[in-house]
């Protein structure tokens, strides 16, 4: 596990150990000058100072491994909504967006709201489409970046690091944002959204969906990513999708990707996962194809909301493969001349 405080300590030592002390004759030291008026200077934000000291080169943090290790580090204390840990995570996401050339969707990257009396904020960036007409048909790609903070102790460990849930999904969104910001080939506009307070009842995505509805935008699809840190076993696809039968997105995505990336998981239907992640508020507000992909199948990960959900348990090669396989499908989705992904007719 990376130790952020170690690097902070190194930074402070470098600052304080400039030159060696020398003995002086105090009788020859001139008196101090008279006091001068110094204007008030805002005190530095210690959280921002941490991020700056630990990650002076954000570009080095683009790998899947480095990203998830940072987001799931002990020092972020489980990224509970309203905590200093989630503030650090938010600043890291903002820095990654800025470094990649992903513009803020609003005046800043932050979409502020209240989550049960706590200050909370989604992080929202945008890569504008390059087609004069199609750029108004918006694709929303998202994941929640919060977690629960603490969990039932195991020994001395009480931190629910939330590596799979959902630093993994956040890592994927950041990687996709890096790709599309660099490629600049998307005809449709893509909004990249990282939500807070998902763990408190989808509060971040509910807030953002309502806010975007008031702006009269016309989203085409919503593609949410949740818990892709470990592979499924004995499946002919990499990830499953919630609400499999509700739209033709699974079939179209696989057609676009040229292989079976997305499949069906019976448990997802049994537990109605379609309504239990950040895709659902966008379906409620806009009635569009809005789904979540995941590889957590209820048998392949024993640390849900526990202290064992750590970065060292993530299958980095699998995550990298998932992200790589998502790109062709999302690229075609962003560039087809017509809206080919549609809601299915619900048969009674």
Angstrom distance (rounded) from CA 346 to CA 343: 9
CA within 13 Å, CB half, 296: 22
Spans of all domains in the chain: 46-333
Beta-strand ranges (E) seen in 155-245 are 157-160, 190-195, 218-225, 239-241
Angstrom distance (rounded) from CA 335 to CA 36: 63
User: pLDDT digits over 6-63, tens only?
Assistant: 333 333 323 333 333 334 344 444 454 444 333 343 333 444 444 443 453 666 678 9
Instruction: Look at residue 327 in the predicted model and tell me its pLDDT.
Output: 98
Architecture of domain 46-333: 3-Layer(aba) Sandwich (3.40)
Instruction: Look at residue 51 in the predicted model and tell me its pLDDT.
Output: 44
According to DSSP, residue 311 is labeled: G
The segments of the chain whose pLDDT lies below 70 read 1-60, 347-348
Instruction: Look at residue 57 in the predicted model and tell me its pLDDT.
Output: 63
Instruction: Look at residue 347 in the predicted model and tell me its pLDDT.
Output: 60
Give the closest residue to 254 by CA, choosing from 125, 341, 145, 169.
Answer: 341
């Amino acid at each position: 596990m990376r130790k952020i405080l170690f690097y902070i300590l190194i930074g402070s030592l470098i600052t304080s150990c400039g030159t060696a002390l020398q003995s002086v004759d105090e009788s020859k030291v001139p008196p101090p000058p008279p006091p001068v008026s110094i204007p008030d200077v805002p005190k530095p934000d210690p959280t921002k100072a941490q991020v700056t000291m630990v990650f002076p080169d954000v570009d080095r943090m683009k790998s899947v491994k480095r990203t998830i290790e940072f987001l799931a580090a002990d020092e972020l204390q489980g990224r509970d909504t309203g905590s200093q840990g989630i503030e650090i995570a938010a600043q890291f996401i903002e820095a990654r967006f800025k470094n990649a050339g992903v513009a803020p969707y609003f005046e800043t990257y932050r979409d502020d709201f209240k989550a049960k009396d706590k200050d909370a904020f989604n992080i929202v960036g945008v890569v504008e489409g390059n087609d004069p007409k199609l750029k108004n048909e918006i694709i929303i790609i998202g994941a929640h970046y919060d977690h629960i903070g603490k969990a039932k102790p195991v020994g001395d460990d009480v931190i629910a690091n939330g590596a799979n849930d959902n630093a993994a999904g956040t890592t994927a969104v950041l990687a996709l944002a890096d790709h599309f910001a660099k490629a600049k080939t998307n005809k449709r506009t893509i909004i990249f959204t990282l939500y807070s307070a998902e763990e408190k009842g989808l509060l971040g995505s509910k807030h953002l969906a309502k806010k975007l509805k008031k702006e009269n935008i016309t989203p085409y699809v919503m593609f949410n990513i949740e818990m892709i840190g470990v592979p499924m076993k004995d499946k002919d696809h990499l990830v499953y999708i919630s609400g499999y039968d509700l739209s033709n997105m699974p079939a179209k995505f696989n057609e676009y990707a040229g292989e079976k990336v997305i499949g069906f998981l019976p448990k997802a239907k049994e537990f109605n996962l379609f309504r239990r992640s950040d895709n659902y508020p966008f379906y409620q507000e806009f009635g569009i194809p809005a789904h979540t992909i995941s590889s957590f199948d209820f048998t392949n990960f024993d640390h849900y909301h526990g202290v064992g959900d750590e970065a060292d348990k993530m299958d980095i090669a699998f995550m990298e493969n998932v992200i790589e396989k998502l790109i062709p499908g999302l690229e075609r989705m962003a560039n087809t001349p017509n809206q080919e992904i549609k809601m299915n007719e619900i048969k009674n």
